[in-house]
């Protein structure tokens, strides 16, 4: 079974993800990502292999971070420990500090008992599959074991947060003076830096979910529990709410009335703004097949092309890098702005969204109105053979529904990557239409693909 998932290595801390595994993974990473420089070559160049590490505040990050640092230093890598900072901050620092690679210890939006290890290559970019496979292979191979002056050192990266803050503030198209922003930090990695960022940008800031104790990360708060920030925005009479997940690589928002604004709507707003200012590369937005049909319709009306990828921010990023696009993301709020970041950045996204309110003088509800969200129904059909979704009768049923919906809807059948089930998703002009079509297709899938 592959060690790496869609976003690094993840599992129950001290269950599947142990200190021994973290140490071994760090040593293998040192071999693969630092192997281009021998000890002799580094001495000749006056340069040592260096890596930046960081973590979110969950309690297991302490021992996993210690294991990663030990594995790297034992392999001759100088470690710069940035402490508790968001994942996108780690990616930025790898590039800004000209490090050979970086390691983030975080399980993102997962509950506190879980943890994960995400690896970024030189430049702050995520690893392609082939490099992950090489690292996994080298976990069973001899490790680098330098001695004497060639072992690595572990240092505190003292100005890590300041570097990241200054970078984000430098992207602002307009200051946020006069705007009242509620920020939900999910008791996670953004708890220190996000409130400071928005305050430095000129906003009046109300903060919730910024008291991490190691076990309350994502616990009933953050971008996976938007009812909390919706209530807070209304109670405080704020203009907008920005909600992060545990490692702040994504964000969702709520308007002044407490209405939720998802990643599709955020992308629509940002794409329209960049397009208007001549900053949207090739007038193209990259989204996944799960993005709402309303996003595509709204973009077409404004002369913006939408390129779709498989589900997962890594596939969005691969397409952006391959074709030179500057904006992409997912409905979940994982938005990538390639002009300013190498990965999804919830602080950058939130900052740019609120800055668009300041730049235009419009409310978030007014900005979000450029996109009409089509009603969507999703049914998970369990206990079926997901490898047979191309069954002739199933596909005929899909085509029939698509023909009936026409341009006002769409159908997506997608086998789960981890479970024996097929996801049936239908969008239509009304909720009743979507529900009726999805139920009918789910029944056909259940009958035809039964195990």
375 alpha-carbon distance from chain centroid: 24
358, 174 Cβ separation under 8 angstroms: yes
Both tokens assigned to 267: 């992308």
Q: Which residues are annotated as a binding site?
A: 108, 245, 247, 249
Positions marked catalytic: 108
Our measurement of the distance from residue 392's CA atom to the centroid of its chain's CA atoms, rounded to an integer in Å, reads 36
Coil, strand or helix: which one is 211?
coil
3-state helix, strand, coil in the chain (%, to 5): 40, 20, 35
CA distance 186 to 166: 23
Distance (Å, rounded) from C-alpha 294 to C-alpha 297? Answer: 5
Q: Which of 90, 125, 127, 131 is nearest to 108 (CA)?
A: 90
| 3 state DSSP class of 215 | coil
- 160-169 and 193-200 are packed helices; what angle lies between their axes, rounded to 10 degrees? 40
Q: What is the C-alpha to C-alpha distance for residues 234 and 316, in angstroms, rounded to an integer? A: 34
What are the start-end ranges of the E strands in 106-195?
114-121, 125-126, 154-156, 180-184
Tokens of 61: 């990050």
Phi then psi for 377, rounded to 5 degrees?
Answer: -125, 130
- Backbone Cα Rg of the chain: 23
Q: Which helix (H) or strand (E) holds 382?
A: strand 376-382
178: helix, strand or coil: coil
Half-sphere exposure of 287 (CA within 13 A, CB side): 27
Cα separation, 133 vs 350, in Å, equals 34
8 Å CB contact between 275 and 298: no
Phi, psi of 62 (to 5 degrees): -65, -55
Query: How many whole angstroms separate alpha carbon 381 and alpha carbon 425?
Result: 11
Nearest to 223, CA basis, from 195, 249, 191, 251? 251
Q: Which residues make up each annotated binding site for Mg(2+)?
A: 108, 245, 247, 249
């Amino acid at each position: 079974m592959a060690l790496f998932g869609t976003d690094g290595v993840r599992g129950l801390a001290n269950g599947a993800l142990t200190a021994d595994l973290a140490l071994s993974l760090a040593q293998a990473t040192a071999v693969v990502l630092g192997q281009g420089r021998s000890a002799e070559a580094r001495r000749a160049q006056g340069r040592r292999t260096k890596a930046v590490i960081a973590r979110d505040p969950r309690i297991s990050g302490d021992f996993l971070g210690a294991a990663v640092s030990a594995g790297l230093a034992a392999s001759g890598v100088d470690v710069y420990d940035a402490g508790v900072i968001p994942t996108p901050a780690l990616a930025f620092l790898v590039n800004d500090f000209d490090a050979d690679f970086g390691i983030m210890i975080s399980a993102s939006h997962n509950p506190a008992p879980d943890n994960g290890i995400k690896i970024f290559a030189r430049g702050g970019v995520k690893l392609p599959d082939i490099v992950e496979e090489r690292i996994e292979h080298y976990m069973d191979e001899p490790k680098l074991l330098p001695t004497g002056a060639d072992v690595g050192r572990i240092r505190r990266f003292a100005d890590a947060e300041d570097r990241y803050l200054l970078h984000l503030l430098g992207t602002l198209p307009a200051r946020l003076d006069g705007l009242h922003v509620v920020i939900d930090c999910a008791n996670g990695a953004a708890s220190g830096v996000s409130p400071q960022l928005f305050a430095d940008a000129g906003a009046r800031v109300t903060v919730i979910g910024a008291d991490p104790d190691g076990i309350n990360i994502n616990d009933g708060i953050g971008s996976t529990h938007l009812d909390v920030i919706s209530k807070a925005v209304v109670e405080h009479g704020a203009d907008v709410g920005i909600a992060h997940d545990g490692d702040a690589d994504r964000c969702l928002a709520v308007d002044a009335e407490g209405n939720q604004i998802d990643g599709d709507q955020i992308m629509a707003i940002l794409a329209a703004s960049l397009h208007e200012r001549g900053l949207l590369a090739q007038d193209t937005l990259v989204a996944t097949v799960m993005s709402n049909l309303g996003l595509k319709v709204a973009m077409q009306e404004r002369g913006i092309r939408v390129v779709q990828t498989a589900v997962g921010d890594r596939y969005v990023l691969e397409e952006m890098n391959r074709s030179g696009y500057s904006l992409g993301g997912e409905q979940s709020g994982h938005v990538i702005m390639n002009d300013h970041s190498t990965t999804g950045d919830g602080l950058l996204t939130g900052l740019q969204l609120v800055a668009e309110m300041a730049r235009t003088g419009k409310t978030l509800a007014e900005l979000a109105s450029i996109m009409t969200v089509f009603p969507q129904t999703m049914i998970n059909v369990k206990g079926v053979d997901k490898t047979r979704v191309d069954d002739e009768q199933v596909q005929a049923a899909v085509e029939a529904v698509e023909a009936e919906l026409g341009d006002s809807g769409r159908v997506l059948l997608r086998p789960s990557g981890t479970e024996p089930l097929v996801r049936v998703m239908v969008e239509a002009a009304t909720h009743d239409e979507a529900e009726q079509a999805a139920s009918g297709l789910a029944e056909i899938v259940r009958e035809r693909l039964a195990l």
